[in-house]
Amino acid sequence: MNHPAALTATVSGRVQGVYYRGFVAEQARRLGLTGYACNLTDGETVLVVAEGARADLEKLLPLLRDGPPMALVTDVALEWTDY
């Protein structure tokens, strides 16, 4: 379960303008993951792409669903791919 993997998450809700991308970057760094997070043009969605050990990506999932204190995540759509 600790093999390399890639995760693409589309996170919806109040996730722009509330430090969501910075929060995700900090958590991913802490877990030893690489990737990026960017705001999408709809104003209410963030795209997260992360790569690393599958077990560490699994640890990122609940953090994506919670976000920082001012965020309100309403949906997280996931896509797993090979590293």
Which member of 14, 39, 54, 65 is catalytic? Answer: 39
The 3-state secondary structure of the chain reads CCCEEEEEEEEEEECCCCCHHHHHHHHHHHCCCEEEEEECCCCCEEEEEEEEEHHHHHHHHHHHHHCCCCCEEEEEEEEEEEC
21 is catalytic: yes
Among residues 21, 29, 30, 54, which one is catalytic?
Answer: 21
39 is catalytic: yes
Residues recognised as catalytic: 21, 39
